[in-house]
Amino acid sequence: MHTLSVDLGERSYPVYIGRDLLSDAALIGQHINGSQVVIVSNDTVAPIYLDKLRAAIGERDLVTEIILPDGEAHKSLATLNEIFDRIMADRHSRSTTLVALGGGVVGDITGFAAACYQRGVNFVQVPTTLLAQVDSSVGGKTAVNHPLGKNMIGAFYQPQAVFIDTNTLQTLPPREFAAGLAEVVKYGLICDEPFYRWLQEHIAKLLAREEAALAEAIERSCASKAAVVAADEREGGLRAILNLGHTFGHAIETAQGYGNWLHGEAVATGMLLAVEMSARRGSIDRVEVEAFRELLLKMQLPVAQPADMTPGQFLDLMGRDKKVIDGRMRLVLLSAIGQAAIVDDASESELTALLETFPRAS
Amino acid sequence: MHTLSVDLGERSYPVYIGRDLLSDAALIGQHINGSQVVIVSNDTVAPIYLDKLRAAIGERDLVTEIILPDGEAHKSLATLNEIFDRIMADRHSRSTTLVALGGGVVGDITGFAAACYQRGVNFVQVPTTLLAQVDSSVGGKTAVNHPLGKNMIGAFYQPQAVFIDTNTLQTLPPREFAAGLAEVVKYGLICDEPFYRWLQEHIAKLLAREEAALAEAIERSCASKAAVVAADEREGGLRAILNLGHTFGHAIETAQGYGNWLHGEAVATGMLLAVEMSARRGSIDRVEVEAFRELLLKMQLPVAQPADMTPGQFLDLMGRDKKVIDGRMRLVLLSAIGQAAIVDDASESELTALLETFPRAS
């Protein structure tokens, strides 16, 4: 087992990475105090892992299980309200602990519920998808979606602990696994060139889901994210580099309807757009664009924009993104492989030209 | 003008108290940066004060006005959702400022919207009721109600500044004014005996809404609250004393339906129950119970429980309160006038006896 610390002063917490953590009663018991627990999961993950986790949590005075329908479409205020209804009906007190067992949707909505219920209760994450393990498990961003924009309603709220059980990746569907790899490769691109080169070399082992390669990739990803978040918890500056590909990606997700493109898929195409744009600005070599496209193809991630999206639609949706400050759109590009750069001088014509000439799904 | 500072480290903020602050463009301009503003008010307050405030805020690139229906019944997740719909539709960015113009309901829901919108945007309070001025304007508690309990969903979120314009009290309906006095007298009871005695002497001037008496009462109330909150921002301990009368009061509000009893009215009766219970425990003299009852009567506040509530209903609703920790109900009583004491040993039989013998509205 590896242990990382996310260093945020009095809100610091550990991230444990290893096999069988889901059923490690001693470890989990260290981080769930009090006699009341709410486990939130979804109807895909719960049948496989809920009993194990419940056994590890052990006997408590009050345990409520909330099983949501799977999918991004349910990351809404309506679902949040249903969670509150259940917790209230069972009369959980301010000393309860909310446990998120599932992917990013479960983690984000459970974390936001924990942030708001009685103005804040304890929260523990057990992420079961690669994406959630390397992304939302570190950093304390919680949220639900609004029909007009993703993650628009939420809070910065840190968990007490995160348990990443690498075994759970063995049951992850290939498409979800690929979506997680998109966020893994992002850390290489924005701040860790050696890791990026390591990924290019070890992609076959990762695709074969070899335990050692997975643990290495997760740990290096989480370590990068923890370092960025420790330097900038509330996204004042540096943290924005984590959004490489996300402004384009969110536009794709919103236009296509949440869940039709997975978040990681949209981010993959968004990153390729950002890398292409960086090359057109002369910041990185064109050969790197091609190498990155090849890596995404190996990862089985999309490298073309949706067939039915126009540049105008992209620009419109990107203008609603949280990264817009007083009318200026901030975009994350690369100044080199392993080095992000934030720009706010992208013109409508530059973006339109990029989108008009970028490959389109047939 | 008086200025108080709520001392919370990097989240510290000023509370300004005085005449005509609502139209003080220079002062307000100091605390609203950025080109985007959302003003949230209600259909009672907006017709009287919105134009003035809007003029003081001055020209901005984007100003959205959201006028809610008046009343506690609208302090809900549904109304919060409507606020988000408006802000999203107008594309407010993370640099927008939400301004609450109104009473506690407007302040609480606007503050919670500010806490959650894009995970936190700037927030300014312009409280126009006595209750909001002396209570919710200091301390950063924001929330909406759940059908099963008041203020159950919310956040601790501090404003950038609070502007208390004492002129607004001249248009406040008598019942709302009385409800505010309940919270004013609370500060005397829990931590400031000299202020309590001052209130007993100056009640006629307050009821006549004399400017000097009002400003004095507001300032001393806010100062007490600021001191308590500075010592305990997130309600770990000391801050609980601010809940004198609130556990009983919330039960009344929930049972009667939000808005039928005003918050201050329910708290007044709740405080009288707590003071009576303190006397039965021998902590304070019975003569003080009678004196307090007289003061509440002068303030035109209710001194009897609702006719249709049973002790069983009280206990049931009190058991859902946030002050319950692992099954033990914590109640705020008095160990003396001007000194609160938190107890967790109230038995069902003690509470039942109290409620069975406490005067009942006819």
How far apart CA A234 and CA A240 sit, in angstroms, is: 10
Give the gap in angstroms from C-alpha B289 to the nearest C-alpha of chain A.
Answer: 32
Give me the pLDDT at residue A324, please: 61
Sketch out chain B's domains with CATH numbers. 2-171 (3.40.50.1970), 193-357 (1.20.1090.10)
**Best residue in B96, B108, B119 for a mutation probing chain A (most A CBs within 10 Å):** B119
Give the gap in angstroms from C-alpha B177 to the nearest C-alpha of chain A.
Answer: 28
B106 a known binding residue? yes
Q: What is the pLDDT of residues B128-137, one digit of tens each?
A: 999 999 998 8
Average pLDDT, chain B: 94
Active site residue B250: yes
Of A235, A293, A298, A322, the active-site residue reads A235
Where would I find the H helices in B117-257? 130-131, 174-191, 193-207, 211-231, 246-256
CA A187 to chain centre: 12
How far apart CA A74 and CA A65 sit, in angstroms, is: 17
Q: Which two tokens stand for residue A137?
A: 């498990």
Pick the residue from chain B with its C-alpha nearest to A36.
Answer: B326
Read off the amino acid at residue A314. Answer: F
At A322, is the pLDDT very low, low, confident or very high (cuts 50, 70, 90)? low
Q: To the nearest 10°, the Cα dihedral for B142, B145, B149, B152?
A: -40
Are the Cβ atoms of A61 and B327 closer than 8 angstroms? yes
How far apart CA A302 and CA A309 sit, in angstroms, is: 15
Of B54, B92, B186, B263, the active-site residue reads B263
Active site residue A205: no
Q: What is the pLDDT of residues B6-21, one digit of tens each?
A: 988 888 999 999 999 9
Of B92, B141, B186, B323, the active-site residue reads B141
Are the Cβ atoms of A119 and B326 closer than 8 angstroms? no
Active site residue A225: yes
Give me the pLDDT at residue B257, please: 77
B352 a known binding residue? no
Of B219, B243, B288, B322, the active-site residue reads B243
Of B250, B276, B288, B322, the active-site residue reads B250
Question: B207: which residues sit within 8 A by CB, 6+ positions away?
Answer: B298, B299
Contacts of A319 in chain B (CB under 8 A): 91
Q: What is the pLDDT of residues A39-67, one digit of tens each?
A: 999 999 999 999 999 999 999 999 999 99
How far apart CA B134 and CA B130 sit, in angstroms, is: 6
Are the Cβ atoms of B120 and A156 closer than 8 angstroms? yes
At B263, is the pLDDT very low, low, confident or very high (cuts 50, 70, 90)? confident
In terms of C-beta density within 10 A (0-12 exposed, 13-18 middle, 19 or more buried), how is residue A302 classed? buried
Give me the pLDDT at residue B63, please: 97
Q: Are A124 and A32 in contact, with CB atoms under 8 Å apart?
A: yes
Give me the pLDDT at residue B326, please: 59
Give me the pLDDT at residue B328, please: 76
Pick the residue from chain A with its C-alpha nearest to B95.
Answer: A325
Q: Are B354 and B273 in contact, with CB atoms under 8 Å apart?
A: yes
| pLDDT at residue A343 tops 80 | yes
Give me the pLDDT at residue A18, please: 94
Give me the pLDDT at residue A238, please: 84
Mean pLDDT value across residues B93-99: 96
Q: Count Cβ atoms below 10 Å from residue B159 Cβ, excluding itself.
A: 29
Question: Which has the closest alpha carbon to B275: B292, B261, B299?
Answer: B292
How many residues does this entry show for chain A?
A: 362
Look at A226-235, B198-207, B267-276 and tell me which has the smallest mean pLDDT. Answer: A226-235
Look at A109-118, A258-267, B197-206, B333-342 and tell me which has the smallest mean pLDDT. Answer: A258-267
Q: How many Cβ contacts (< 8 angstroms) between chains A and B?
A: 106
How far apart CA B298 and CA A121 sit, in angstroms, is: 41
What secondary structure letter does DSSP report for A72? G
Give me the pLDDT at residue B260, please: 85
Question: Which has the closest alpha carbon to B83: B119, B46, B50, B109?
Answer: B109
**Phi, psi dihedrals of residue B26, rounded to the nearest 5°:** -65, -45
Active site residue B33: no
Give me the pLDDT at residue B8, please: 87
Question: A167: which residues sit within 8 A by CB, 6+ positions away?
Answer: A19, A20, A22
Q: Which residues of B touch A (CB under 8 A)?
A: 34-36, 61, 77, 80-81, 84-85, 88-89, 91, 93-95, 115-120, 141, 143, 146, 148-149, 152-156, 234-235, 319-320, 322, 324-327
Give me the pLDDT at residue B324, please: 61
Q: Are A119 and B141 in contact, with CB atoms under 8 Å apart?
A: yes
What is the rounded end-to-end Cα distance, in angstroms, of chain A?
Answer: 45
Active site residue B42: no
Q: What is the pLDDT of residues A284-311, one digit of tens each?
A: 999 999 999 999 999 999 999 999 999 9
Contacts of A91 in chain B (CB under 8 A): 319-320
Active site residue A31: no
Q: Are B45 and B106 in contact, with CB atoms under 8 Å apart?
A: yes
CA–CA–CA angle B108, B114, B120 (5° rounding): 135
Of A183, A216, A233, A276, the active-site residue reads A183
How far apart CA B75 and CA B68 sit, in angstroms, is: 10
**Best residue in B82, B86, B93, B328 for a mutation probing chain A (most A CBs within 10 Å):** B93
How far apart CA B125 and CA B158 sit, in angstroms, is: 10
Contacts of B326 in chain A (CB under 8 A): 34-36, 61, 93, 95
Q: Are strands A36-42 and A62-68 parallel, antiparallel or unpaired?
A: parallel
Q: What is the pLDDT of residues A96-151, one digit of tens each?
A: 999 999 999 999 999 999 999 999 999 999 999 999 999 988 989 999 999 988 89
Active site residue A298: no
How far apart CA A144 and CA A21 sit, in angstroms, is: 27
Contacts of B85 in chain A (CB under 8 A): 146, 148
Question: B321 or A97: whose pLDDT is higher?
Answer: A97
How far apart CA A286 and CA A268 sit, in angstroms, is: 18
| pLDDT at residue A326 tops 90 | no
B298 a known binding residue? no
Give me the pLDDT at residue A331, please: 94
Q: Which two tokens stand for residue B230?
A: 């500075």
Q: Please report, rounded to a whole number, the percentage of residues in chain A having pLDDT higher than 90.
A: 84
Q: Please report, rounded to a whole number, the percentage of residues in chain B having pLDDT higher than 90.
A: 84
* β-bridge mates for residue B42, sequence order: B68
Closest CB to A326: pick one of B93, B115, B116.
B93
Give me the pLDDT at residue B322, please: 60
Q: Are A202 and A208 in contact, with CB atoms under 8 Å apart?
A: no
Question: Which has the closest alpha carbon to A311: A362, A251, A250?
Answer: A251
Secondary structure of residue B262 in the 3-state scheme: coil
Question: B287: which residues sit within 8 A by CB, 6+ positions away?
Answer: none
How far apart CA A25 and CA B298 sit, in angstroms, is: 60
Active site residue A183: yes
Mean pLDDT value across residues A65-84: 95
Q: Are A274 and A243 in contact, with CB atoms under 8 Å apart?
A: no
For chain B, strand residue ranges (E) read 2-6, 13-18, 36-42, 62-68, 97-102, 122-127, 141-146, 149-156, 161-165, 324-325, 328-329, 331-336, 339-343
Give me the pLDDT at residue B25, please: 96
Q: What is the pLDDT of residues B222-255, one digit of tens each?
A: 999 999 988 887 777 788 999 999 999 989 988 9
Query: Which strand (E) or helix (H) includes residue A163?
Result: strand A161-165
Q: Which two tokens stand for residue A125?
A: 């994450």
Give the gap in angstroms from C-alpha B80 to the nearest C-alpha of chain A.
Answer: 10
Active site residue A52: no
Closest CB to A141: pick one of B81, B119, B326.
B119
3-state secondary structure A230-274: HHCCCCCCHHHHHHCCHHHHHHHHHHHCECCECHHHHHHHHHHHH
Question: Which has the closest alpha carbon to A161: A41, A62, A61, A22?
Answer: A22
Are the Cβ atoms of B324 and A93 closer than 8 angstroms? yes
What's the order of all strands across the beta sheet hosting B13-18? B2-6, B13-18, B161-165, B122-127, B97-102, B36-42, B62-68
**Best residue in A79, A119, A234 for a mutation probing chain B (most B CBs within 10 Å):** A119
Using DSSP, how many helices (H) and how many strands (E) does chain B show?
13, 13
Active site residue A250: yes
At B321, is the pLDDT very low, low, confident or very high (cuts 50, 70, 90)? low
B246 a known binding residue? yes
Of A42, A122, A151, A243, the active-site residue reads A243
